[in-house]
Amino acid sequence: MNTRQRLFNRWVIILVALAVIASLAATIPWGTSDKKHSTLPTPVPTAGLEGSGAQLATLLTSARKHTFHARYAVRGDKALIGGTLSLEWWNKNGHSRVDTTRTSGSDVVRTASLVNGSDGASCQQIGSGAWSCSKISVPNPGDPSGIIASVTSQLAGRPVTQSNAKVGGRSALCFHVGGGTEPIDVCTNSDGVLLRNSSSQVTYELTTLETTVSDSIFTPPATVR
Protein backbone atom coordinates (compact mmCIF):
# COMPACT_ATOMS: atom_id res chain seq x y z
CA MET A 1 0.00 0.00 0.00
CA ASN A 2 1.47 3.36 -1.00
CA THR A 3 1.55 6.56 1.07
CA ARG A 4 -1.50 8.07 -0.68
CA GLN A 5 -3.59 4.96 -0.03
CA ARG A 6 -2.55 4.99 3.63
CA LEU A 7 -3.66 8.63 3.92
CA PHE A 8 -7.01 7.77 2.37
CA ASN A 9 -7.57 4.70 4.54
CA ARG A 10 -6.66 6.71 7.65
CA TRP A 11 -9.72 8.92 7.18
CA VAL A 12 -12.03 5.94 6.63
CA ILE A 13 -10.72 4.55 9.93
CA ILE A 14 -11.30 7.90 11.66
CA LEU A 15 -14.94 7.98 10.56
CA VAL A 16 -15.45 4.45 11.89
CA ALA A 17 -13.68 5.43 15.11
CA LEU A 18 -16.02 8.38 15.54
CA ALA A 19 -18.98 6.02 15.24
CA VAL A 20 -17.52 3.82 17.97
CA ILE A 21 -17.05 6.88 20.19
CA ALA A 22 -20.71 7.74 19.59
CA SER A 23 -21.86 4.37 20.86
CA LEU A 24 -19.59 4.27 23.88
CA ALA A 25 -20.74 7.69 25.02
CA ALA A 26 -24.33 6.51 25.37
CA THR A 27 -23.53 5.38 28.90
CA ILE A 28 -22.59 8.93 29.91
CA PRO A 29 -25.45 11.17 31.19
CA TRP A 30 -25.52 13.78 28.43
CA GLY A 31 -29.24 14.64 28.75
CA THR A 32 -31.77 14.37 25.94
CA SER A 33 -29.92 12.91 22.97
CA ASP A 34 -32.20 14.20 20.22
CA LYS A 35 -32.49 17.80 21.39
CA LYS A 36 -31.20 20.37 18.93
CA HIS A 37 -28.69 22.83 20.27
CA SER A 38 -28.19 26.39 19.08
CA THR A 39 -24.88 26.88 20.87
CA LEU A 40 -21.55 25.15 20.40
CA PRO A 41 -20.28 22.64 22.95
CA THR A 42 -17.68 24.06 25.32
CA PRO A 43 -14.21 22.88 24.23
CA VAL A 44 -12.89 20.13 26.49
CA PRO A 45 -9.20 20.46 27.42
CA THR A 46 -7.30 17.76 25.55
CA ALA A 47 -3.60 16.97 25.72
CA GLY A 48 -1.77 18.73 22.88
CA LEU A 49 -4.83 20.70 21.77
CA GLU A 50 -6.01 24.24 22.45
CA GLY A 51 -8.07 26.96 20.80
CA SER A 52 -9.62 25.91 17.49
CA GLY A 53 -8.00 22.47 17.67
CA ALA A 54 -9.74 21.76 20.98
CA GLN A 55 -13.02 23.12 19.56
CA LEU A 56 -12.84 20.79 16.55
CA ALA A 57 -12.04 17.74 18.69
CA THR A 58 -14.93 18.59 21.03
CA LEU A 59 -17.36 19.06 18.13
CA LEU A 60 -16.41 15.76 16.50
CA THR A 61 -16.89 13.81 19.71
CA SER A 62 -20.09 15.68 20.65
CA ALA A 63 -21.85 14.14 17.63
CA ARG A 64 -22.17 11.05 19.86
CA LYS A 65 -25.05 12.76 21.69
CA HIS A 66 -27.28 12.88 18.61
CA THR A 67 -29.45 10.58 16.53
CA PHE A 68 -28.71 10.85 12.80
CA HIS A 69 -28.34 9.07 9.49
CA ALA A 70 -25.74 10.68 7.25
CA ARG A 71 -24.82 9.80 3.68
CA TYR A 72 -21.54 10.94 2.15
CA ALA A 73 -20.23 11.19 -1.39
CA VAL A 74 -16.52 10.55 -1.80
CA ARG A 75 -14.65 12.38 -4.54
CA GLY A 76 -11.03 12.01 -5.53
CA ASP A 77 -8.46 10.00 -7.42
CA LYS A 78 -10.12 6.67 -8.29
CA ALA A 79 -6.74 4.96 -8.20
CA LEU A 80 -6.36 6.11 -4.61
CA ILE A 81 -9.94 5.32 -3.59
CA GLY A 82 -9.93 2.00 -5.43
CA GLY A 83 -12.84 2.86 -7.73
CA THR A 84 -15.89 4.77 -6.49
CA LEU A 85 -16.85 4.89 -2.84
CA SER A 86 -19.93 5.89 -0.85
CA LEU A 87 -20.31 5.98 2.91
CA GLU A 88 -23.27 5.96 5.34
CA TRP A 89 -23.23 6.57 9.09
CA TRP A 90 -26.10 5.83 11.50
CA ASN A 91 -25.98 6.86 15.15
CA LYS A 92 -28.46 6.36 17.98
CA ASN A 93 -28.47 5.92 21.75
CA GLY A 94 -25.95 3.15 22.42
CA HIS A 95 -25.63 2.12 18.77
CA SER A 96 -23.56 3.13 15.74
CA ARG A 97 -23.03 1.78 12.25
CA VAL A 98 -20.79 2.89 9.38
CA ASP A 99 -21.19 1.27 5.92
CA THR A 100 -19.03 1.67 2.84
CA THR A 101 -19.70 0.57 -0.73
CA ARG A 102 -16.67 0.43 -3.02
CA THR A 103 -17.19 -0.21 -6.76
CA SER A 104 -14.38 -0.92 -9.22
CA GLY A 105 -15.59 -1.98 -12.63
CA SER A 106 -17.93 -4.92 -12.04
CA ASP A 107 -16.51 -5.56 -8.55
CA VAL A 108 -18.50 -4.34 -5.55
CA VAL A 109 -17.34 -4.66 -1.94
CA ARG A 110 -19.56 -3.60 0.96
CA THR A 111 -18.51 -3.24 4.57
CA ALA A 112 -20.44 -2.60 7.76
CA SER A 113 -18.88 -1.67 11.10
CA LEU A 114 -21.30 -1.87 14.03
CA VAL A 115 -21.22 -1.13 17.73
CA ASN A 116 -24.11 -2.09 20.00
CA GLY A 117 -23.27 -1.19 23.57
CA SER A 118 -20.15 -3.19 24.41
CA ASP A 119 -20.45 -5.46 21.33
CA GLY A 120 -18.70 -4.67 18.08
CA ALA A 121 -18.77 -6.34 14.67
CA SER A 122 -16.95 -5.90 11.37
CA CYS A 123 -18.84 -7.25 8.34
CA GLN A 124 -18.08 -7.62 4.64
CA GLN A 125 -19.90 -8.65 1.47
CA ILE A 126 -18.08 -9.24 -1.81
CA GLY A 127 -20.27 -8.94 -4.88
CA SER A 128 -23.52 -10.85 -4.52
CA GLY A 129 -21.99 -13.26 -2.03
CA ALA A 130 -23.12 -13.77 1.53
CA TRP A 131 -22.25 -11.31 4.28
CA SER A 132 -19.69 -12.43 6.87
CA CYS A 133 -19.23 -10.77 10.26
CA SER A 134 -16.52 -11.09 12.87
CA LYS A 135 -16.43 -9.83 16.42
CA ILE A 136 -14.23 -6.82 17.19
CA SER A 137 -13.09 -5.45 20.52
CA VAL A 138 -14.76 -2.31 21.85
CA PRO A 139 -13.03 -0.25 24.57
CA ASN A 140 -14.78 0.12 27.92
CA PRO A 141 -16.94 3.26 28.23
CA GLY A 142 -14.76 4.38 31.13
CA ASP A 143 -11.63 4.24 29.02
CA PRO A 144 -12.36 5.58 25.54
CA SER A 145 -9.13 7.57 25.25
CA GLY A 146 -7.56 5.14 22.81
CA ILE A 147 -10.23 5.83 20.20
CA ILE A 148 -10.45 9.55 20.89
CA ALA A 149 -6.67 9.64 20.49
CA SER A 150 -7.03 8.18 16.97
CA VAL A 151 -8.88 11.37 16.04
CA THR A 152 -7.10 13.98 18.10
CA SER A 153 -3.67 12.63 17.19
CA GLN A 154 -4.33 14.01 13.71
CA LEU A 155 -4.71 17.49 15.26
CA ALA A 156 -2.09 17.60 18.02
CA GLY A 157 0.76 20.00 17.33
CA ARG A 158 -0.79 21.30 14.10
CA PRO A 159 -2.10 24.84 13.54
CA VAL A 160 -5.91 24.96 13.30
CA THR A 161 -7.94 27.94 12.10
CA GLN A 162 -11.74 28.23 12.25
CA SER A 163 -14.30 29.91 9.97
CA ASN A 164 -18.04 29.90 9.21
CA ALA A 165 -19.15 28.51 5.85
CA LYS A 166 -21.86 26.59 3.99
CA VAL A 167 -21.73 22.93 2.95
CA GLY A 168 -24.51 21.88 0.62
CA GLY A 169 -26.59 24.82 1.84
CA ARG A 170 -26.10 23.88 5.49
CA SER A 171 -24.45 26.24 7.98
CA ALA A 172 -21.06 24.85 8.86
CA LEU A 173 -18.14 25.42 11.17
CA CYS A 174 -15.01 24.75 9.15
CA PHE A 175 -11.49 24.14 10.36
CA HIS A 176 -8.26 24.22 8.36
CA VAL A 177 -5.64 21.93 9.84
CA GLY A 178 -2.19 22.88 8.60
CA GLY A 179 1.18 21.19 8.91
CA GLY A 180 1.62 17.44 9.14
CA THR A 181 1.89 15.14 6.15
CA GLU A 182 -0.94 16.93 4.36
CA PRO A 183 -3.22 19.87 5.29
CA ILE A 184 -6.89 18.99 5.73
CA ASP A 185 -10.18 20.85 5.96
CA VAL A 186 -12.95 19.60 8.24
CA CYS A 187 -16.49 21.02 8.51
CA THR A 188 -19.22 20.07 11.01
CA ASN A 189 -22.62 21.38 11.96
CA SER A 190 -23.24 22.79 15.44
CA ASP A 191 -24.00 19.27 16.73
CA GLY A 192 -20.58 18.06 15.59
CA VAL A 193 -21.89 15.89 12.75
CA LEU A 194 -19.27 15.73 10.02
CA LEU A 195 -20.31 17.66 6.89
CA ARG A 196 -17.07 17.64 4.93
CA ASN A 197 -13.57 16.24 5.28
CA SER A 198 -11.20 17.24 2.53
CA SER A 199 -7.55 16.86 1.59
CA SER A 200 -5.80 17.54 -1.69
CA GLN A 201 -6.49 13.93 -2.70
CA VAL A 202 -9.94 12.98 -1.36
CA THR A 203 -13.11 14.77 -0.21
CA TYR A 204 -15.96 13.30 1.84
CA GLU A 205 -19.05 15.51 1.68
CA LEU A 206 -22.47 15.05 3.24
CA THR A 207 -25.28 14.53 0.73
CA THR A 208 -28.23 13.81 3.04
CA LEU A 209 -28.82 14.09 6.79
CA GLU A 210 -31.82 12.61 8.59
CA THR A 211 -32.66 12.64 12.30
CA THR A 212 -34.71 9.44 12.47
CA VAL A 213 -33.04 6.04 12.66
CA SER A 214 -34.69 2.62 12.86
CA ASP A 215 -33.37 0.25 15.53
CA SER A 216 -33.28 -2.55 12.93
CA ILE A 217 -30.32 -0.97 11.11
CA PHE A 218 -28.08 -1.93 14.02
CA THR A 219 -28.70 -5.66 13.51
CA PRO A 220 -25.60 -7.19 11.86
CA PRO A 221 -26.29 -8.52 8.35
CA ALA A 222 -24.95 -11.97 9.33
CA THR A 223 -24.20 -14.01 12.42
CA VAL A 224 -21.22 -12.53 14.26
CA ARG A 225 -18.52 -15.15 14.77
Residues 105-145 have pLDDT tens digits of 999 999 998 888 888 899 999 999 999 999 988 754 433 33
Residues 39-90 have pLDDT tens digits of 666 665 555 677 888 888 888 777 877 899 999 998 988 777 888 889 899 9
Domains of the chain, CATH where assigned = 3-218 (2.50.20.10)
3-class DSSP state for residue 68? strand
In whole angstroms, how far apart are CA 128 and each of 36, 56, 108, 124, 144? 40, 39, 8, 11, 36
**CA separation for the pair 43, 87 (Å, rounded):** 28
Please state whether beta strands 95-104 and 84-92 pair in parallel, antiparallel, or not at all (unpaired). Answer: antiparallel
Helices in 48-158 by DSSP H: which ranges? 51-62, 78-81, 145-152
